[in-house]
Copies of this chain bind each other. A is one copy, B any other.
């Protein structure tokens, strides 16, 4: 009952050597003013601004975003979860988003699922523990637990690179079945009637599957035959070459090939070269992605170009708008479309 004896203060590890208080002292203002200056410079008088600014420079002050985020109940982080950054498509989107978000002083927290829904769920949980300003997921397919986690968050949830299914909140992307349809229609228009789709990892890559399905249906609707040759591993030129050989062996009358992406298409072109199959005379080849090499191939590859960077920019814009309080309707859907690049391979 008489523990009035003040124990010596514990020594807690300090995180920072120089805090906002230090800046305030040097600038002869209150910490509040420094905080205000940092958040809304226009609300602070010119003279105060100058002294504070000088003090910050002199002390080399770096604000602690965790303290700030904790106090403000939201952070300057945006979480983005993609299947893999090794994939050029997602790398492009991540890169574009990063560039756009940089202007808002928002940081990207990256996670990759490797096409595993359970992994995604864990990543979403980790992401939420940062109280991010927004969370970006790839695709519309998520585990029930993931949906539950995201059902009632107050921040924008943006699903990218896929449209055409039930969305959690906003979605930015395009319809992959339409990509398949566009490829099929193009080949038919080029006079091809025996079409084959070369696919990789379609049991995991839902979007590749959608492109394939759209292709098959459109081909058949257009009066062409349509077959699929696939491989369980991830897309690569090597697998593309294998698939093309298989396709020509199984369907010697094939005259039009659509590939689940440009890596496959590149391998197919190499295989055609080796097998002395004339492209496009004997076989037309269409890819997807318009990757860096696609225009430089022999022959240059006809391909469908998605707008990976536009997806990233639009996502960033949505987040920015939300941050500025312009709360747009939820369940927003933005179709970024795609374009067919007609080159010599078809």
Contact = CB atoms under 8 A, between A and B. Distances in A.
Interface of A: 12-16, 60, 62-67, 69-70, 73-75, 77, 84-86, 88, 91-92, 94-95, 98-99, 105, 107-112, 114, 125-131, 148-149, 236-238, 240-241, 263, 266-267, 270, 273-274, 292-293, 295-298
Contact of A94 (B85, B107, B125, B238): B85
Among A62, A66, A70, A95, the one with the most B-chain Cβ atoms within 10 Å of its Cβ is: A66
Contact of A296 (B74, B92, B270): B270
Given A14-B73, A65-B130, A110 B111 contact: no
Contact of A112 (B60, B63, B98, B295): B98
Given A64-B129, A66-B70, A125-B62, A238 B148 contact: no
A131 B64 contact: yes
Nearest to A242: B296
Contacts of A107: 109-111, 126-127, 130
Contacts of A74: 15
B70 A67 contact: yes
Nearest to A80: B110
Given A70-B67, A92-B86, A125-B62, A296 B110 contact: no
B293 A236 contact: yes
Contacts of A295: 237-238
A66 B131 contact: yes
B237 A293 contact: yes
A229 B86 CA distance: 29
Among A15, A73, A111, A296, the one with the most B-chain Cβ atoms within 10 Å of its Cβ is: A296
Given A64-B70, A65-B130, A69-B66, A91 B86 contact: yes
